[in-house]
Chain A
Amino acid sequence: QVQLQQWGAGLLKPSETLSLTCAVYGGSFTGHYWCWIRQPPGKGLEWIGEIHHSGDAKYNPSLKSRVTISVDTSKNEFSLMLNSVTVADTAVYYCASFLWGLGFDYWGRGDLVTVSS
């Protein structure tokens, strides 16, 4: 069974860069796609993007100009960077694993990132 442990800075000022990392324990690192999803307070879920162990990444066009997802296969970790954050980027950020045909089968606990001046 896959377990996802995520961490990163929780308080940012506008224009700073959000950085989160998710470590994968158990399961096959090469079999899944590794994703980031966010949820603004009291709102729904937004897919940010995904990356394969090969490094192939896909992003939500709404964030594509500001987001980078990277992978470190030597550590079974993947990371999210979102630059030039604004108050609108305040959200709980989840890492999750995605398997084609199964969906997002495992989720991290979520980290609240607050952007405030």
Chain B
Amino acid sequence: DVVMTQTPLSLSVTLGQPASISCKSSRSLRHSDGKTCLYWYLQKPGQSPQLLIYQVSNRFSGVPDRFSGSGSGTDFTLKISRVEADDVGIYYCMQSVQFPYNFGQGTKLEI
């Protein structure tokens, strides 16, 4: 299985300040079709997870541009340029290059 490791597991950020979450995979997430199968999700308190970023760096529809993703191969980063109160929750990275699809442990962001 591909193991996804996130750091840190918890993050306390001041409103308006940046935040960064790292995700490392145990193998390259670049698929043979050229796509890199790394996604970021946010699970707000009491809600279902929601897609933020697909294929490393593409924002899903409606996702604010303060969210950005970067990385390649096995090392990836999610950045929030200026944290807002609505960003509170647990952030998960996920891979789909190989079955079973796996999520990272989650990073809890607090204000």
- Chain A interface (Cβ within 8 Å of chain B)? 44-47, 58-62, 94, 98, 100-105, 107-110
Closest to B96 in A: A103
Contact status A108-B103, CB under 8 Å = no
**B99–A94 CB distance below 8 A:** no
Number of residue pairs across A and B with beta carbons under 8 Å? 54
For the complex formed, measure the closest distance between the CB of B106 and the CB atoms of chain A, giving whole angstroms.
Answer: 5
Give the Cβ gap from A95 to chain B, nearest Cβ, in Å. Answer: 10
State A60–B41 Cα separation when bound (angstroms). Answer: 20
User: Is B51 engaged at the interface, CB distance under 8 Å to the other chain?
Assistant: yes
In the complex the two chains form, is A44's CB within 8 Å of B106's CB? yes
Smallest distance from the beta carbon of A74 to chain B beta carbons, Å?
A: 27
- In the complex the two chains form, what is the Cα distance from A60 to B94 in whole Å? 15
CB within 8 Å for A110 and B48 given contacts A61-B100, A62-B100, A103-B96: yes
Residues of A within 8 A of B104 (CB): 44
Q: Which residues of B contact A103 (CB under 8 A)?
A: 39, 41, 51, 54, 94, 96
Does B102 sit within 8 A of A, measured CB to CB? yes
B101 shortest CB reach to chain A, Å: 4
Q: Do A101 and B54 touch (CB < 8 A)?
A: yes
Which chain A residues border B102 with CB–CB below 8 Å? Answer: 47
A94 to B47, CA, bound (A): 11
**13 other A-B residue contacts (CB within 8 Å) besides A98-B96, A102-B55:** A44-B92, A44-B103, A46-B103, A94-B48, A101-B35, A102-B60, A103-B39, A103-B51, A103-B54, A103-B96, A104-B39, A108-B48, A109-B48
A41, B39: Cα distance in complex, Å: 23
Question: A60 touching B51 by the CB < 8 A rule?
Answer: no
Complex: how many Å from CA A47 to CA B100?
7
Distance (whole angstroms) from the CB of A81 to the closest CB of chain B: 18
Query: Once the chains bind, are B100 and A105 in contact (CB under 8 Å)?
Result: no
Smallest Cβ-Cβ distance to B1: which chain A residue: A61
